[in-house]
Structure 1
Amino acid sequence: MIKAVLFDFDGTIADTAPDLGRALNRQRAARNQPPLPIELIRTEASAGARGLLNLGFNLKPGDPEYQALREEFLSFYTEQLCQDTRLFPGITELLEQLDNQAIPWGIVTNKPARFTQPLMHLLNLYHRAACIISGDDTPYSKPHPEPLLTACRQINTPPDCCIYLGDDIRDVQASLAAGVKPVVALYGYLGNCASPETWGAAELINHPGDLLYYV
């Protein structure tokens, strides 16, 4: 029996790609490079700065220019953190249904707390969430199971009584490792990995409201 629902943030709860993309394209413009289309940015948005800097500049952690461009990217993103970020259609109604059924829900994301916390406030979700686990709140990030296990401890719910909805293969890997039931948000970013049907999750949904079939 499912007693709680946990959510990834970028690409699952909120469409953050427009603001992430603005920061990246601001960097590209400063270097006389053309802007990248939002459709391309969405494929890497779940991977944060690492994925977007690889997309925009073909840079990876360890490359000589990577750290400086990462700091610049995060600074630009901070300046316009929630200008065009919106909850995905159907999320508001889903969370209302969970609240009405007294089913606790929370956030487990690799996004650093310096962004997660203010965004949750700006989207009017902070005080409703039973837990908020950001990428720097535990020693490990997804696909390691510890962030999900920490969330389960905080909401006092056994992992096998929780669902985790995410849009990236790492979300499924973390769920399976933690003993949480993974559900894939097909409406999310999905990245450039193999087809979501091959990630190992038994359930895949096209709309946030479809999650109610499993609670």
Structure 2
Amino acid sequence: MQKLILFDFDGTLADTAPDLAAAANTMRVQKGLEPLPYELLRPMASQGARGLLKAGLDLAPDHPEYEEHRIRFLSEYEKQMTSLTRLFPGVGELLATLKAEGFQWGIVTNKVEYLAVPIVRHLQLEAECAVTVGGDTAGHAKPHPAPLLYAAEKTGFQPEDCIYVGDDERDIVAGKAAGMPTIAAAYGYCQVEDIPRWNADAVVDSAHEIWPAVQALLQRVA
């Protein structure tokens, strides 16, 4: 039976952190501050503007200048968002395997569509991707299940015939709420020590391990 494998984007399919960190450091330099080491900014990449502004400028959403800086951050990011972003090792082979095995795959990200779609296209994923759902596509962002349910509906799959792969707790929360088996991508931007409390159905340490994890999950529910 054909299945749909859905992926988070940042930290799961694509290593977008270098461009996100560069945008944060651009804003620091504009304020006369020294750039921060990449290692300090990388863990915040899955949280997007909110995480990078907190790490880079100590700005939280309740700060009166937050919205102004959020807009500027997104503008800076859009200028350079395909400069350093690459697929994680093993992703290309994984997607080729899914196609060869008759599986469809898609993307469900909290990145808004106007940023997500050009990067998907730049990485030459658009032709094979069955659906791309952004954080502003379905009226709710993860951890709400709506984006995942929307992806299933658009591709003609029942939620139980989908598997969701992500590197953040909200990915696993959303997948479970949508009734989908979940795989935690421990190679992404998460804190590895936090993963056990997510209660994902499987955990992988590299993209190379995703296809075996998918096979194991399908055997479990067969």
TM-score, scaled relative to structure 2: 0.93
Q: Distance in 2 between matches of 1:51 and 1:20?
A: 10
**200-209 vs 145-154, which deviates more?**
200-209
Matches within 5 A, 1:1-215: 3-190=3-190, 195-213=194-212, 214-215=214-215
More deviation, 175-184/155-164: 155-164
Distance 1:207 1:194 in 2: 16
Which deviates more, 32-41 or 67-76? 32-41
> Which amino acid counterpart does residue 201 of structure 2 have in structure 1?
A
Cα distance in 1 for partners of 2:182, 2:40 equals: 26
Look up the equivalent residue of 2:140 and give its one-letter code. Y
Alpha-carbon contact 2:2-2:104 (below 8 Å) kept: no
Structure 1 gaps of 5+ residues are: none
How many residues are matched?
214
Unaligned runs of 5+ in 2: 216-222
Structure 1 runs of 4+ aligned residues shifted over 4 Å read none
d(CA) in 1 for partners of 2:40, 2:148: 29
Distance 2:193 2:133 in 1: 27
**SS of the counterpart of 2:184?**
strand
Separation in 1, partners of 2:161, 2:209: 18
How does the TM-score come out when normalised to structure 1? Answer: 0.96
CA contact (8 A) 1:15 1:85 kept: yes
C-alpha root-mean-square deviation of aligned residues, in Å?
1.3
Distance in 1 between residues matched to 2:187 and 2:69, nearest whole Å? 30
Deviation at 1:200, TM superposition (A): 1.4
**Contact persistence 2:2–2:102 (CA under 8 A):** no
What's the offset of the Cα at 1:194?
Answer: 5.9
As a proportion of its length, which structure holds more helix?
Answer: 2
